[in-house]
Chains A and B, each alone.
Chain A
């Protein structure tokens, strides 16, 4: 059971908008620690998608955006494309455990 909770799966049709939630607690996201997001395409290593809640590294399309509020964070993907089909993970820091923690991951299916 992960410290950060994500839905196991989400889906959407090409061109649609989907969101993936990441719910934490008062010892991680709720304490003010930032949230980062990773995309893992099938059979490959994870890739940084969003850092510091809402910042995109160079090369990441602006179709991907992140936000944080209270004890939760969200990743939004607009204009869904077939190549977005992947697993997505959120990550933060937990002060009770004193470690960086991940969500359990969300599998995005493009219908």
Chain B
């Protein structure tokens, strides 16, 4: 059974830092792209970042570029999100998600086939 378990959320002051972790089990972690997706309170979903199987490629939404860093440790089956210079607008539940791949014959599309339970990050003074 695929399991993704996030940890590391909490209350942090504006400008502060936080490191989120995601422990994966039930599948070959090193074979999948992985993502972080966030959801502000009462709002919709927003993709934040993703990372290739070997960590050689990383992509970010513009609003977190230069502040957040996604990484992984395949030996520990773990995904991380280092968040620096946090702002009030970063307040959200952060989900770890596994990337699924679908080939339609025209494009390769990526979706999120498994999600963790989420960890709440609150940025407030």
Contacts and interface: CB of A to CB of B under 8 A. Distances in A.
Given A45-B115, A45-B118, A32 B106 contact: yes
A111 to B, nearest CB: 23
Nearest to B106: A32
Contacts of B59: 99
A103 B45 CA distance: 8
A101 B47 CA distance: 7
B45 A36 contact: no
Contacts of B117: 44-45
Contacts of A91: 45, 111-112
A51 B102 contact: yes
B45 A46 contact: yes
B45 A105 contact: yes
Interface of A: 2, 32-34, 36, 38, 44-48, 51-53, 55, 57, 89, 91-93, 99-105
A77 B38 CA distance: 26
Interface of B is mostly: strand
Given A2-B44, A45-B115, A46-B115, A32 B110 contact: no
A93 B109 contact: yes
B28 interface: no
B118 A48 contact: no
Nearest to B114: A48
A57 B100 CA distance: 11
B110 A100 contact: yes
Contact of B116 (A45, A48, A55): A45
Given A34-B102, A105-B45, A45 B95 contact: yes
B113 interface: yes
B61 A99 contact: yes
A102 B107 contact: no
Question: Which 5 residue pairs across A and B have the least CB separation, nearest first?
Answer: A36-B111, A52-B102, A34-B109, A45-B115, A102-B45
Nearest to A68: B104
Interface string B14-56: 0000000000000000000000010000001111000000000
